[in-house]
């Protein structure tokens, strides 16, 4: 299966892609899943929070009677590292249209002690069973055409400082209006916008949207702050199964105060549907 | 203690008010708290979700080493009713500046079986220990002066359908631009704005902010939808200890689709600080 314009590159399919292999979970016993955190999704030295969320989301999708994440609230406890992990799930409630579950991802100390990395509460449903009504008043973000946006290979711009394996697995092209930070001229606005895809061309699904909401550079870069913006809590609503094709992502910060900031993400699909909304509370960088 | 303009009405104090008495929890054993859900905070027949959140927030503030809710994610499982309840808490992680806990509120079946109503994950800190920096770019909502806004006693306007004991305990004055629903002429915009206070004059604190974010009529009324908008999940960030005086609350819905909608709330204090931000996913009314 080839896509026009992708010059002979075979497009990876949902279920058979880097993302799917690296978020695979293996049932160890009822409700408990083994996983391997891939070094391929690290940003600087930390494992990306959206990638971890997708892993937890996959485990919960197996443990719960409903297939799709509708709302996932994650509290980040300790930094994850590439390597083995275990996800322990708990079915909280099963309803007709929604079920609710809890999941924790643990890694191991040298002596084998489990250390909790993230805990999530999530309500799952069936996106394909929802009615067709759309009364969205939000408008898609005004992002220039993809060919006018900038990726890591486009000259001086956006290289995230430090080694970031994840950039090889993502196909992100940022709106030139939000890449001032990469050339030392941040806009001062808490905005980051761009086109998002997976590098192997795999289309989006509800699980990959959990990655997408936390995949762009932080808005704090455009606010002139350098350094790390660790997530305290991230809640994501998946509202619609995304259509094939590239996604547009817009991230906004309106309240940087007291050493914390919020980041609101919106993800729009190629059919102009608002497919995901998220908000996170993060610690502001010191710098 | 009297407040100018309140005509001899003694202002209730934080810690000695209806809200404090009705959100009191009693330690039964370590981590377990008994509570009594008051009939005074019901809307139609259901106990208000923000009131329940404040109860859970109070229990967690006791169970965790840090005093203030920074981010609280609540998943609503089954409808609560006035009467006895028990809150079971669990300390997930204790850190220097933040600690994370989990809490569930249960009520009882006739045979004594516990039924879970809500589960929350929350990260707590110390608001008074935060640095003073404020780089908020958001602006307070444009709400007319309080005396030009409308409450339940102001003529034809905003009476929530059905018996709603909570309206006696709140002092809400809505922006006339968002009360069209009350006279059969909804604006069609997903907006609700107004002034918020507690009827006994108690000032706001972080716990009462958990009530405030879910206390206005739903935006769906202004979208022309009648009926109930049950919350699936509600996440609230408390960003600053509110200054004394009335609060301004703005609620916005941008994505009503597939039978669900989000409601974003912002709460501003009398010192023009954005003190709380929340987002909920709710089921859209059928009507």
User: With an 8 Å Cβ cutoff, are A258 and B130 in contact?
Assistant: yes
% of chain B exceeding 70 in pLDDT: 93
Topology of domain B18-127, CATH: Porin (2.40.160)
User: With an 8 Å Cβ cutoff, are B121 and A75 in contact?
Assistant: yes
Residue of A121, A225, A265 best to disrupt the B interface, most CBs of B under 10 A: A121
pLDDT of residue B164: 78
CA dist B77 and B233 (Å) reads: 9
Closest listed residue to residue A218, CA positions, set A70, A46, A58: A46
Q: Which regions of chain A carry the CATH code 2.40.160.210? A: 18-126, 147-283
B25 DSSP 8-state letter: -
Closest listed residue to residue B86, CA positions, set B39, B159, B166, B29: B29
For domain A18-126, the CATH architecture is Beta Barrel (2.40)
**CATH code reported for the domain at A147-283:** 2.40.160.210
pLDDT of residue A228: 84
Residues 208-247 on A with a CB inside 8 Å of B are 223, 232-233, 235, 237, 239-240
Residues of A in contact with B78 (CB under 8 A): 93
pLDDT of residue A160: 61
Residues 86-125 on B with a CB inside 8 Å of A are 92-93, 98, 100, 102, 116, 119-123
Residue of B79, B100, B257, B278 best to disrupt the A interface, most CBs of A under 10 A: B257
Per-residue pLDDT tens over the stretch B85-117: 999 999 999 999 999 999 999 999 999 999 999
Topology of domain B146-283, CATH: Porin (2.40.160)
Contact assessment for residue A280 and residue A233, using Cβ atoms and an 8 Å cutoff? yes
Cα–Cα separations (whole angstroms), residue B260 to A98, B213, B256, B284: 12, 18, 6, 5
User: With an 8 Å Cβ cutoff, are B273 and A257 in contact?
Assistant: yes
pLDDT of residue A1: 37
A19 phi and psi angles, rounded to 5 deg = -60, -45
pLDDT of residue B153: 78
Residues of B in contact with A120 (CB under 8 A): 121
CA angle A20, A25, A29 (to 5 degrees): 160
Q: Within chain A, which residues score under 50 in pLDDT?
A: 1-7
ipTM of this model?
0.94
Q: Does A135 touch chain B (CB under 8 A)?
A: yes
Q: Within chain B, which residues score under 50 in pLDDT?
A: 1-7
Per-residue pLDDT tens over the stretch B16-37: 999 999 999 999 999 999 999 9
Q: Which regions of chain B carry the CATH code 2.40.160.210? A: 18-127, 146-283
pLDDT of residue B155: 63
């Amino acid at each position: 299966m080839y896509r026009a314009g992708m010059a002979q590159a075979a497009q990876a399919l949902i279920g058979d892609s880097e993302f799917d292999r690296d978020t695979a979970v293996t049932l160890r016993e009822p409700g408990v899943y083994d996983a391997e955190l891939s070094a391929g999704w690290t940003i600087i030295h930390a494992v990306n929070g959206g990638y971890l969320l997708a892993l937890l989301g996959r485990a919960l999708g197996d443990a719960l009677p409903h297939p799709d994440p509708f709302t996932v609230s994650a509290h980040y406890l300790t930094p994850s590292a590439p390597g083995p992990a275990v996800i322990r799930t708990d079915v909280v409630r099963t309803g007709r249209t929604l079920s609710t579950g809890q999941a924790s991802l643990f890694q191991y100390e040298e002596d084998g002690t489990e250390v909790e990395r993230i805990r999530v509460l999530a309500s799952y449903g069936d996106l394909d069973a929802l009615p067709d009504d759309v009364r969205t008043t939000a408008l898609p973000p005004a992002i220039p055409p993809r060919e006018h946006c900038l990726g890591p290979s486009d000259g001086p711009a956006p290289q995230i400082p430090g080694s970031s394996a994840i950039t090889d697995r993502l196909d992100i092209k940022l709106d030139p209006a939000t890449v001032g930070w990469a050339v030392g001229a941040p806009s001062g606005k808490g905005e980051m916008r761009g086109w998002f895809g997976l590098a192997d061309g795999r289309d989006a699904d509800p699980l990959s949207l959990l990655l997408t909401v936390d995949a762009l550079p932080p808005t704090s870069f455009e606010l002139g702050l350098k350094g790390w913006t660790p997530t305290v809590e991230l809640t994501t609503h998946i509202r619609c199964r995304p259509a094939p094709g590239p996604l547009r992502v817009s991230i906004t910060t309106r309240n940087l105060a007291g050493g914390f900031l919020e980041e609101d993400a919106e993800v729009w699909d190629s059919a102009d549907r608002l497919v995901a909304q998220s908000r996170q509370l993060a610690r502001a960088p010191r710098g």
